[in-house]
């Protein structure tokens, strides 16, 4: 049942991105159908490209495993896309985060609370930004912390800081 709801939410995200003008596809092999770790959704508009790990919940908060986030970042770097975590709580819209902006728990997993999503998450419209403004809002300390946690590579951090 939960898997069907997740699939439905992923299809909803694909449709919303399509309606917003993105070329988009749902990765049919995500969720364990292959040995390769793939993001749930790939989207691009000719200027910016995203690999998105989508999570939805009726409860609060939403958790992601460390492996899910590491795989998203790894794929994004190799594919040339920006990694995004897409979050949707029931009766709310989709909100998006760079993995470096998501709270990492002591156990190495990641957590997004509904309040944080509503206050700090990027909206669908924000995804149209080329990324320059988005990345420039990260402080040097945040970027170094993300490198230390393994969320960003040194190369990705250097690109953000340029």
Residues with a known catalytic role: 30
Tokens 């908060």 — which residue?
A: 61
β-pairing, 82-89 vs 94-97, is: antiparallel
Structure tokens at 49: 């490209």
In the chain, beta strands by DSSP E:
23-26, 41-44, 49-57, 62-64, 82-89, 94-97, 103-104, 110-112
DSSP for 47-63 reads: S-EEEEEEEEESSS-EE
């Amino acid at each position: 049942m939960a898997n069907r709801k997740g699939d439905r939410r992923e299809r909803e995200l694909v449709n919303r991105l399509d309606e917003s003008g993105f070329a988009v596809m749902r990765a049919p092999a995500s969720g364990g159908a292959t040995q390769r770790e793939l993001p749930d959704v790939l989207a691009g508009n000719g200027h910016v490209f995203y690999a998105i790990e989508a999570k939805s919940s009726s409860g609060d908060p939403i958790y992601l495993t460390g492996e899910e986030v590491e795989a998203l970042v790894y794929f994004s770097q190799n594919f040339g896309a920006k990694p995004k975590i897409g979050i949707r709580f029931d009766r709310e819209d989709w909100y998006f985060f760079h993995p470096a902006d998501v709270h990492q728990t002591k156990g190495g997993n990641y957590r997004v609370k509904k309040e944080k999503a509503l206050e700090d998450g990027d909206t669908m419209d924000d995804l149209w930004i080329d990324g320059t403004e988005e990345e420039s809002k990260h402080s040097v300390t945040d970027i170094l912390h993300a490198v230390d946690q393994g969320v960003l590579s040194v190369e990705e951090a250097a690109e953000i800081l340029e």
